[in-house]
């Protein structure tokens, strides 16, 4: 399932739209991560003009010619959207495994493998439809990258800027897309000597990045219900760059 | 484009899919499936406008076997999905199918809110008083003392009465029937279909493998006359062989009593008349349990009330009188200001 995260109160607006875009285009649930800190925070935000957003209308199939509910779009691997009430397109959807070819309930092991693989491929393919990961502050390559996601954006951003002003070679990488991960992320992370994943949990993103890319990412973790202090992050950066 | 020819009159068979029906041999679900397919044929239902929505469980396989639109959804959440389908297109005729676990335990709150909102759905609850799909654990409707893999010494908690639950949360249509009543069940389903609002139908369904005979104390031929009362609006509440017994309202005790015609001077004039618009009477009927009382089957309660879907769309229509929506205007509508 795609997982995307909100990093600031105003970011929530675009993340919500992006979640709907992915959900309708790829016909999948999308998980949006937010937290109480974002919910209770505020910032000035210029209300966007809705007409400045690219439309992503859903196309509904109405033509019964060669229709099959289990057809897949070649590119997205998503199925056709059909509104109940459309003549001649009646079908049943549900969670029991179906034959890849006919859509009938199937208990065939090879078919189940194929269906599992194709479902994973559909989600993984979203990586080609999302932007490459950019460096928020600093530049690709260097001594240290602080990687974060979600509401930690603010304190990490301030700490990294402060430390750069003091001459430390540190960059900020902040992820919106947690799954699938941006297609250039492995290369980007490996361009730094050290990677520190600062997150307000026990290290879930760090575990994921290490598992996916075999990068020796370290964790800076805190679960006391309070956001990171800028000083805590500055200390962590100083410790790593002065040793 | 294909040219639409006028539809031929459909038969029950036309509502069956080409899928192999996978329930245990002898399961009561087969009979219910047949009754529903017959009902739709008799109603001349339009397959493209008919939707079956289910949750998880044995009963929840139902949509796969109906040649209509169908959603086999998540455990206990079928009323939520059905609500969304109905609101997006109120022209659709929506049937929700679930078992006692799906609709009263895992999805008890969803069932409650669908019923209290009175959204126009038919909810068919197949009550077999056991978790069949997961191999026989006791369910929220299992009788006290039910021995099951999860209650080896017998269950100790009080079961919920589906019909009383539906009445209690403000249901506008509550009916009961049984898998083996092949004449009665389609008639009840037709009434449910005709009702605007949430039509809640409890169908006693025998699970031959894990809870066989759970209802035989009122469904077996030898006892059915004495242990069932088929209620009909405006008709005296008579039952028993030759309709020799009846129910009278005991006003002092606020309950129904069983009496025998001809005994103690009782005549048919003393027998209570079923009034399906009387929630108190329906509640008393729903409470009746063998062996001291017969089980009440048929339409226990039916009242006309605004439906959630019609109210939602009335609100939308009302809002549209001020013109189509303008998202940009809406976004600027609250306390907004510009920082120069």
- In tens, the pLDDT along B45-75 reads 999 999 999 999 999 999 999 999 999 999 9
B199: its two tokens: 């039509």
pLDDT at residue A156, as a whole number: 98
Phi, psi torsion values for B145, nearest 5 degrees: 95, 0
| Nearest of B92, B53, B49, B84 to residue A89 by alpha carbon | B49
Residue B337 lies in a domain: no
Of B1, B68, B336, which has the smallest distance from its Cβ to A90's Cβ? B68
pLDDT tens, position by position, B252-280: 999 999 999 999 999 999 999 999 999 99
**Integer Cα distance of B188 and B124 in angstroms:** 11
pLDDT classification of B143: cutoffs 50, 70, 90: very high
Indicate if B228 and B243 belong to the same structural domain: no
Q: Which CATH class is domain A142-242?
A: alpha beta
Contact A92 B17 (CB under 8 A): yes
Average pLDDT rounded to a whole number, residues A109-134: 97
Indicate if B34 and B120 belong to the same structural domain: yes
The residue out of B211, B245, B272 marking a domain boundary is: B272
Indicate if B261 and B121 belong to the same structural domain: no
Contact B64 A64 (CB under 8 A): no
Report in angstroms the alpha-carbon separations of B165 from A102, A199, A221, B153.
42, 46, 48, 27
B158: its two tokens: 């009080």
Q: Residues B296, B285: contact at Cβ < 8 Å?
A: yes
**How many folded domains does chain B comprise?**
2
- The CA-based diameter of chain A, rounded to the nearest angstrom, is 71
> By the CB < 8 Å criterion, does B222 face chain A?
no
Q: Residues B177, B308: contact at Cβ < 8 Å?
A: no
| Nearest of A33, A21, A7 to residue A179 by alpha carbon | A33
pLDDT at residue B145, as a whole number: 97
CATH number of the domain to which B175 belongs: 3.40.50.970
H/E element, A30? none
Res. B211: pLDDT tops 50: yes
Provide the residue range defining the domain that includes B247.
237-272
Q: Residues A15, A32: contact at Cβ < 8 Å?
A: yes
pLDDT classification of B4: cutoffs 50, 70, 90: low
pLDDT tens, position by position, A156-165: 999 999 999 9
Indicate if B149 and B81 belong to the same structural domain: yes
pLDDT tens, position by position, A168-209: 999 999 999 999 999 999 999 999 999 999 999 999 999 999
Mean pLDDT of chain A: 96
Residue B329 lies in a domain: no
Residue B1 lies in a domain: no
The residue out of B221, B245, B272 marking a domain boundary is: B272
Substitution target from A44, A45, A83, A85 for chain B, most B beta carbons within 10 A? A85
Mean pLDDT of chain B: 96
Indicate if B81 and B24 belong to the same structural domain: yes
ipTM: 0.89
Neighbours of B178 (CB within 10 A): 25
pLDDT classification of B6: cutoffs 50, 70, 90: low
On chain A, the residues whose CB falls within 8 A of the CB of B17 are 92
Strand pairing report for B255-260 and B245-250: antiparallel
Instruction: Name the CA radius of gyration of chain B, rounded.
Output: 23
The residue out of B272, B298, B333 marking a domain boundary is: B272
Question: What's the gap in Å between the CA of B139 and the closest CA on chain A?
Answer: 23
Q: Residues B99, B125: contact at Cβ < 8 Å?
A: yes
**Integer Cα distance of A154 and A150 in angstroms:** 9
Instruction: Name the CA radius of gyration of chain A, rounded.
Output: 22
Report the chain A residue with the minimal C-alpha distance to residue B331.
A47
């Amino acid at each position: 399932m795609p997982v995307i995260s909100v990093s600031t109160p105003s970011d929530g607006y675009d993340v919500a739209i992006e979640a709907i875009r992915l959900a309708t285009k790829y016909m999948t649930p999308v998980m949006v991560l937010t937290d109480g800190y974002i919910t209770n925070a505020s910032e000035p935000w210029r209300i966007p003009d809705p007409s400045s957003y690219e439309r992503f209308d859903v196309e509904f199939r109405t033509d019964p010619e060669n229709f099959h509910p289990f057809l897949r779009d070649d590119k997205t691997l998503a199925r056709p959207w059909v509104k109940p009430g459309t003549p001649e397109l009646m079908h049943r959807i549900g969670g029991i495994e179906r034959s890849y070819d006919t859509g009938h309930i199937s208990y065939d092991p090879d078919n189940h493998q194929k269906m599992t693989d194709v479902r994973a491929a559909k989600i993984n393919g979203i990586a080609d439809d999302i932007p490459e990961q950019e460096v928020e502050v600093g530049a690709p390559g260097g001594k240290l990258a602080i990687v974060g996601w979600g509401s930690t954006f603010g304190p990490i951003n301030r700490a990294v800027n402060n430390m750069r002003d003091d001459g430390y070679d540190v960059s900020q990488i902040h992820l919106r897309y947690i799954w699938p991960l941006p297609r250039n992320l492995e290369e980007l992370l490996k361009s730094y000597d050290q990677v520190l994943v600062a997150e307000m949990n026990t290290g879930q993103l760090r575990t994921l990045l290490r598992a996916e890319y075999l990068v020796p990412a370290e964790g800076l973790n805190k679960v006391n219900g309070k956001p990171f202090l800028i000083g805590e992050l500055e200390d962590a950066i100083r410790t790593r760059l002065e040793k | 484009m294909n040219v639409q020819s006028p539809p031929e009159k459909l038969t029950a068979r036309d509502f069956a899919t080409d899928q192999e029906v996978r329930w245990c041999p002898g399961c009561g679900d087969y009979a219910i499936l047949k009754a529903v397919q017959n009902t739709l044929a008799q109603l001349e239902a339009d397959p493209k406008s008919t939707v079956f929505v289910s949750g998880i469980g044995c009963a929840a396989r139902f949509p796969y076997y109906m040649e209509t639109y169908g959603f086999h959804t998540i455990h206990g959440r079928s009323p939520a999905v059905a609500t969304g389908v109905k609101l997006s297109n109120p022209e659709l005729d929506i049937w929700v199918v679930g078992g006692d676990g799906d609709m009263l335990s895992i999805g008890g709150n969803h069932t409650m809110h669908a019923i209290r909102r009175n959204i126009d759905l038919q909810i068919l609850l197949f009550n077999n008083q056991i978790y069949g799909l997961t191999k026989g654990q006791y369910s929220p409707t299992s009788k006290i003392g039910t021995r099951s893999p999860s209650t080896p010494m017998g269950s100790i908690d009080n079961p919920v009465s589906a019909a009383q639950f539906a009445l209690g949360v403000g249901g506008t249509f509550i009916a009961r029937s049984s898998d083996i009543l092949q004449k009665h069940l389609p008639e009840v389903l037709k009434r449910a279909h005709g009702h605007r609002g949430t039509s809640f139908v409890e169908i006693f369904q025998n699970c031959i493998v894990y809870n066989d005979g759970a209802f035989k104390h009122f469904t077996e031929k030898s006892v059915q006359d004495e242990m069932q009362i088929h209620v009909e609006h405006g008709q005296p509440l008579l039952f028993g062989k030759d309709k020799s017994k009846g129910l009278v309202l005991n006003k002092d005790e606020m309950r129904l009593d069983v009496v025998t015609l001809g005994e103690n001077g009782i005549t048919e004039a003393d027998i209570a008349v079923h009034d399906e618009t009387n929630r108190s009477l329906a509640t008393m009927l729903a409470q009746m349990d063998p062996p001291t009382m017969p089980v009440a089957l048929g339409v226990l309660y039916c009242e006309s009330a605004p439906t959630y879907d019609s109210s939602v769309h009335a609100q939308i229509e009302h809002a549209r009188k001020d013109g189509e929506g303008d998202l940009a205007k809406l976004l600027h509508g609250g306390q907004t200001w510009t920082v120069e």
